[in-house]
Structure formats: C-alpha cells, structure tokens
Amino acid sequence: MDTALLRNATREEHNATEATVPLMDPSLTLPQYGDVLARMYRIVRAWDDWADVHAPNDLRPILHTRRRAALLANDLKTLGHLAPSVEEVPHERMQSTAVAGDPRAVFLGRMYVMEGSTLGGQLLARHLEEHFGFAEGMGDSYFRGYGEATGERWRQFKEFLEDLPEEATDTVVASARNMFALFAEAMSAKI
Ligand code: HEM
C-alpha cells in the first residue's frame, strides 16, 4: 500500500491528537508534565499489552524492542511519581474499539500511529530538555525513544506497510484513525 496516502488520510487526526498534548505550551509546569506522562502511560501500556497478544508472528521480533510503556514509568519515577495502576489502563477500550477487517491490516494501522509518534517525540524531547533543564533522557526517555535510530526504525517499520496489498488501505486507515482517537481520548479523559 501507499504510505503517503495513509499520512494524508490521517493528517486531520494527527493534528487533532497533537492538540491534546500540551507539551509545547510555554507555561508548562512539572506537575502538568507529570499528568501528561501518566495519561500517556495508560494508553501506551494498553497498546503494548494489546500488541503482545495480537501481533502477527513476523512482526514480533521488531515489536519486542519497541515496547515503550516502561520508558514512561521510568520518567514518572524520575519525577517522583508512581506509574498508574493496571486497573487504570484502558485494555477494554483497546479491545472493544478495534476496527473490523483483516487482522494484519488492523494491527499495522494501530502500530503506524504508535511508531509515528516517535518522530514528533524527537522534537518534543529537545524542547522539554530546554524547558525544564533535564539532562538528556532524564525525565524524557519516552520522547528520546529510539534516539539516533529513530529514522532507520521508521523506515524499517514502513516496509511492513508497503508490503500490504492495496486492498488493505481502507482497513489500515480506519485502524490508524481509531488509534489516534484512543490516544486523544486518554489525553483528554476526566480522571
Ligand atoms: C505535541 C505533539 C506532537 C508533535 C509536535 C508532533 C510532530 C510530528 C512531526 C514533526 C512529524 C513529522 C516528522 C517527520 O516526518 O520526520 C510527526 C509525524 C507523525 N506523528 Fe506526530 N506529533 C505529535 C504528537 C503525536 C502523537 C500523540 C501521535 C500518535 C499518538 C503522533 C503520530 C504521528 C505519526 C503517525 C506520524 C507519521 C506521519 C507520516 O509520516 O506518515 N504524533 N509528528
């Protein structure tokens, strides 16, 4: 499938989700940052756990090195917070809102959103280090993510999307929209 088409078809959802993440706000405080990390932990942990169960076998080796909820738990610890408990993780939403269709296309649509978030993360990490005076990766290891390997890992992941048949496009787009919506929901939820 054509990944440029996927990017264009989900641009609005990206922007809407980005707008729920207030990390570029010039008045961002540490308590607010802690709240953002806790919200992200819930949805990223839900994704990690769902992905563990639903990953197609050939994706398991790359998925294994891309689990990121633990990075958020570390960042929360660095800031003196506990990670949210497992009862707060929206496993049920992940399960019940998954779109219908070919399971591989559904999986890759959701993974596209989670992997793509590492790209903006690089920019956010640099900004947060400057804003809060963090040493590199101390309190923002989630956003540092794959670091210098980010571009290479993104290209590696995109090959799986490119290998999908054209017919998978609608399901991948629908599943990516679903994942963007779940992320935005976690960021905006009343807690
Ligand atoms: C303040 C928050 C965010 C900022 C500033 C941001 C910024 C960016 C930027 C600059 C890119 C393009 C990077 C490049 O092409 O090298 C990008 C791509 C992307 N971001 Fe974000 N982003 C944010 C939040 C998110 C979130 C929360 C998600 C998902 C949950 C997300 C998912 C994606 C995806 C999937 C792409 C890849 C688009 C493509 O090329 O197909 N972003 N973002």
**Which residue is it, tokens 């809060």?**
132
What is the predicted pLDDT for the residue at 109?
98
Amino acid at 119: L
Q: What confidence score (pLDDT) does residue 190 get?
A: 84
- For ligand 1, whether the C-beta of 24 sits within 6 Å is yes
| Residue 17 beta carbon below 6 angstroms from any ligand 1 atom | yes
Q: What is the CATH number of the domain that holds 37?
A: 1.20.910.10
Q: Is residue 22 part of a domain?
A: no
Residue 59: inside a domain, yes or no? yes
> Does residue 112 sit within a domain?
yes
Nearest Cα residue to 55 out of 104, 124, 118, 119: 104
pLDDT tens digits, 156-174: 999 999 999 999 999 999 9
Domain containing 152 equals 3-17+29-188
Of 102, 117, 104, give the one whose Cα is nearest residue 182: 117
Residue 151 inside a domain? The answer is yes
- 83 with 41: CB under 8 angstroms? yes
CB-based burial, 91-102: b 16+ in 10 Å, e otherwise: eebbeeebbeee
- Say whether pLDDT at 116 is over 80: yes
Q: Would residue 23 count as lying in a domain?
A: no
Has residue 61 got a pLDDT over 90?
yes
Give the global pTM.
0.97
CA of 120 to the centre of ligand 1 (A): 4
DSSP-derived letter for residue 163 is T
Ligand 1 centroid distance, CA of 125 (Å): 13
pLDDT on residue 84: 97
Q: For a pocket test of ligand 1, which of 3, 10, 14, 48 has the largest count of ligand atoms closer than 8 A to its C-beta?
A: 14
Q: Relative to the CA of 3, which ligand 1 atom is closest?
A: 41
Ligand 1 binding pocket mutation candidate from 13, 119, 146 (most atoms within 8 A of CB): 119
Determine the average pLDDT of the residues in 46-68: 96
d(CA 105, CA 110) in angstroms, rounded, equals 9
Rounded to the nearest integer, the mean pLDDT of the chain is 97
Q: Mean pLDDT throughout 4-25?
A: 98
Number of domains in the chain: 1
Reply yes or no on whether the pLDDT at 191 is more than 90: no
Does 178 have pLDDT greater than 80?
Answer: yes
Helices 103-132 and 169-188 sit at what angle, rounded to 10 degrees? 40
Total residues belonging to the chain: 191
Backbone angles phi, psi at 37, to 5 degrees: -60, -40
N-to-C CA span, the chain:
39
